[in-house]
Amino acid sequence: MNNPVVTRFAPSPTGFLHIGGARTALFNWLYAKSKNGKFLLRVEDTDSVRSTKEATDAIFKGLEWLGINWDGDPIFQKSNEMRHQDIAEQLLKKGMAYRCYATQEEIMKFQQTAKQNGTSTIYKSPWRENTSKLVKGLKSVVRLRSPNIGETVITDQIKGRVSWKNDTLDDLVLLRSDGTPTYMLAVVVDDHDMRVSHIIRGDDHLTNSARQILIYKAMGWNVPKFAHLPLINGEDGSKLSKRHGAVSVTEYKKMGYPAIAIKNYLARLGWSHGDTEYFTMDEAIKWFSLEKIGQSPARFDKKKLDSVSKFHLNKASPNDLVEEIIAFSLHQRNLIISEKQSSIFKKSINMLRERSSTFHEIIENARFFLLKPPIIVEPTDRALITQVDLKMLERLTLELTAVRWTDVALEKLLSNFVKKEQITFQTVARPLRLAIIGRKSSPSIALVLAILGRKETLNRISDALKTFKRN
């Protein structure tokens, strides 16, 4: 029988949830779900100087928003410190580790000369073979006595076989001179204690994995399976950073992307299921496998994200979508949408969403009924309403007063009006748009009128007539 699958996401709480971190979390989650396993969360807070509560909260919130839910309570690495130290002691006793009294200056000097000579910069501590008893009064670190013959092999679930000659791997520090455990030790011990079966993390950890395997071996522990994800780069191919635009999940949330769009897009960056571009998380779980993850780094392409987002916006159930938008505008935009507006929203959601990639854009497109009069026309557009137009709008008003107020009837009224006036549709549509929504573009004008209602429409037109006549 196979061991149960346990994966984990192990962020260090030194900032927001990075988009790359989110993808790592997503793949861990997807894999665990697809194997009916567990997905755990561990906060790597061993660096007490850089770790903050705010960052921890931000990461939790980010994952929650994405719907990447973890099993059990999050584990804080710091609270396992004693356990880590205990393991280091055991290693020391077994002779698999040793105390090194070299100073940082000595090590730096060694590395400098090694670089000059073009040889390996891996520090060979003289204390490795020094069997003399403890040197009292001198600070020491505990280093792993790693093998210097043979090789270390990872059968990576994504990359295949990767190997290192052991003499290219260093005697890594397990315990700092102040006695605190390093990341290298802590991850291994925690992953072992948490019974993590698959370590899925970024490619940047590939060498670390080899070094960490040495610790597993020294302890005689089972080595988990590894899968190293190719990294996400910016649009220019360089490392993804703030200068490429938004890199935190929270920023994407604020911009109004639905969580499913982010997940769909991120999953598609590196992973594929044939030609399928759009999918739900249930489908992704069903189809997911590590073998289908590619080897090469991907670039983050916001245009593609937009199209994925547009797809999901247009697929969502209208009522759910409206609910989400109302929540979004309240929390992210501090804009309260009234009962009345929300019922208009429900009626117009289809025409709004087909031209939008984000909640934010939907709201922008809905501004014609979200805005309170008076309607402001951009100064640069004011010249587009002429005195001739105003006369025409007055004649139109008369007809609008009498018509049955449905989109079909309004459509018909407008086309008859155009014929009667012997003008193009645009001649009437443009000033009418400007008058009632203050902009040159909008969804279909008859629909807009229908949704706005007769009273509101006539009020807005009459306001516009007053304003523009004065000028």
Partner RNA sequence: GCGCCCUUCGUCUAUCGGUUAGGACGCCAGGUUUUCAUCCUGGAAAGAGGAGUUCGAUUCUCCUAGGGCGUACCA
Q: Give the nearer residue to RNA in terms of CB position, either 57 or 204.
A: 204
Report residue 403 as tokens. 């018509």
Q: Which helix (H) or strand (E) holds 447?
A: helix 445-452
The CB-of-261 to RNA minimum distance in angstroms stands at 12
Q: What is the 3-state secondary structure (H, E, C) of 194-263?
A: CCCCEEEEEHHHHHHHHHHHHHHHHHCCCCCEEEEECCEECCCCCECCHHHCCCEHHHHHHHCCCHHHHH
Q: Give the nearer residue to RNA in terms of CB position, either 343 or 426.
A: 426
Which residues lie across from 38 on neighbouring strands?
A: 6
The CB-of-330 to RNA minimum distance in angstroms stands at 26
- Name the segment binding RNA (CB under 7 A); options: 66-74, 291-299, 340-348, 390-398: 291-299
Pick from 10, 62, 85: which is nearest to 263 by CA? 62
- Work out the number of other CB atoms within 10 angstroms of the CB of residue 454: 15
Rounded CA-CA distance 407/384 in Å is 26
Angle between helices 206-219 and 183-193 (to 10 degrees): 60
The CB-of-191 to RNA minimum distance in angstroms stands at 12
Given a contact cutoff of 8 angstroms between Cβ atoms, the answer to whether 197 and 8 are in contact is no
Given a contact cutoff of 8 angstroms between Cβ atoms, the answer to whether 376 and 434 are in contact is no
104: contact with RNA by CB under 7 A: yes
The CB-of-311 to RNA minimum distance in angstroms stands at 8
The CB-of-120 to RNA minimum distance in angstroms stands at 4
237: contact with RNA by CB under 7 A: yes
What angle (nearest 5°) sits at the alpha carbon of residue 228, between those of residues 224 and 234? 155
Write each residue from 68 to 87 as x if it is in contact with RNA (CB under 7 A), else as -, in one continuous string: ---------x----------
Max Cα separation, the chain? 107
Say whether 156 sits in a helix, a strand or coil. Answer: strand
Q: Give the nearer residue to RNA in terms of CB position, either 135 or 327.
A: 135
What residues from 364 to 403 belong to the interface with RNA (CB under 7 A)? Answer: none
How many amino acids of this chain bind RNA (CB under 7 A)? Answer: 82
What residues from 28 to 67 belong to the interface with RNA (CB under 7 A)? Answer: 44, 46-47, 50
Match 């402001």 to its residue by tokens.
376
Residue among 230, 244, 316, 462 that touches RNA (CB under 7 A): 230
Write each residue from 114 to 153 as x if it is in contact with RNA (CB under 7 A), else as -, in one continuous string: xx--xxxxxx---------------x-x------------
Spot the catalytic one: 109, 124, 242, 292. 242
Rounded CA-CA distance 39/279 in Å is 21
Residue among 7, 12, 85, 309 that touches RNA (CB under 7 A): 12
Write each residue from 410 to 449 as x if it is in contact with RNA (CB under 7 A), else as -, in one continuous string: -x--x----------xx--xx--x------xxxxxxx---
Rounded CA-CA distance 457/191 in Å is 65
Rounded CA-CA distance 281/264 in Å is 8
Beta strands 225-229 and 75-76 are unpaired
What residues from 168 to 187 belong to the interface with RNA (CB under 7 A)? Answer: 168, 170, 173, 176-178, 182-184
354: contact with RNA by CB under 7 A: yes
Concerning whether 347 is annotated as a catalytic residue, the answer is no
The CB-of-367 to RNA minimum distance in angstroms stands at 12
159: contact with RNA by CB under 7 A: yes
- Name the segment binding RNA (CB under 7 A); options: 15-23, 60-68, 165-173, 450-458: 165-173
111: contact with RNA by CB under 7 A: yes
Which sequence positions are flagged as catalytic? 242
